[in-house]
């Protein structure tokens, strides 16, 4: 009888966790599903990191694209070449930052694919928790005035974060 109660409790916890996780995916104002809280068109919180793996970037008068990611995350890894491209091609107006809550050893040891933009870790996941990020990769694009202008999963069908989207945001929110 005790085993059955434990098994039922375990199943209840599993089902509750799945339902809670699904319910936490939110719809933003434009109908885009988010696995985080929406801060679109709001002042971005301060960028707090535990440690920079790269040098700390100069973000003054630039757009800042923060990618919440992990080494084990397939969609995160698949998007790294795109972030490398954005970082190189638009370095005069964009700073790309990869932010992981994994150990520094894990992130420093990651090389496939190679990251060519700024990297930091935050084991306490302060910014990730503040934004309510529950699924990765999760991007936020902050304009030069400090306002979040794009947020979400970059590969979400019909809401992808593409170069044309980025260029449109540059044009719309330039200084």
> Residue ranges of the domains in the chain?
27-173
Is it the case that residue 115 has pLDDT exceeding 90?
Answer: yes
Element (H, E) at 153: none
CB atoms within 10 A of CB 131: 22
pTM over 0.85: no
Confidence of residue 31 (pLDDT cuts 50, 70, 90): confident
SS3 98: strand
Mean pLDDT of 10-24: 36
Confidence of residue 23 (pLDDT cuts 50, 70, 90): very low
What CATH number labels 27-173? 3.40.30.10
- The reported pLDDT for the residue numbered 134 is 97
- The reported pLDDT for the residue numbered 101 is 98
CA distance 152 to 33: 8
Total residue length of the chain: 175
């Amino acid at each position: 009888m005790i085993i059955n109660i434990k098994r039922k409790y375990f199943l209840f916890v599993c089902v509750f966790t799945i339902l809670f996780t699904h319910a936490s995916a939110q719809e933003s104002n434009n109908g885009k599903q988010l696995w985080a809280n929406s801060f679109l068109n709001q002042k971005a919180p301060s960028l707090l990191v535990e440690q920079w793996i790269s040098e700390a970037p100069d973000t003054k008068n630039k757009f800042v694209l923060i990618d919440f990611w992990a080494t084990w995350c397939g969609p995160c890894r698949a998007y790294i070449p795109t972030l490398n491209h954005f970082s190189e091609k638009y370095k005069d107006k964009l700073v790309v930052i990869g932010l992981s809550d994994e150990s520094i050893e894990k992130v420093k040891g990651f090389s496939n694919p190679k990251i060519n933009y700024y990297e930091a870790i935050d084991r306490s996941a302060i910014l990730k928790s503040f934004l309510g990020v529950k699924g990765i990769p999760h991007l936020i694009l902050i304009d030069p005035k400090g306002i979040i202008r794009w947020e979400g999963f970059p590969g979400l069908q019909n809401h992808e974060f593409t170069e044309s989207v980025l260029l449109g945001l540059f044009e719309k929110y330039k200084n």
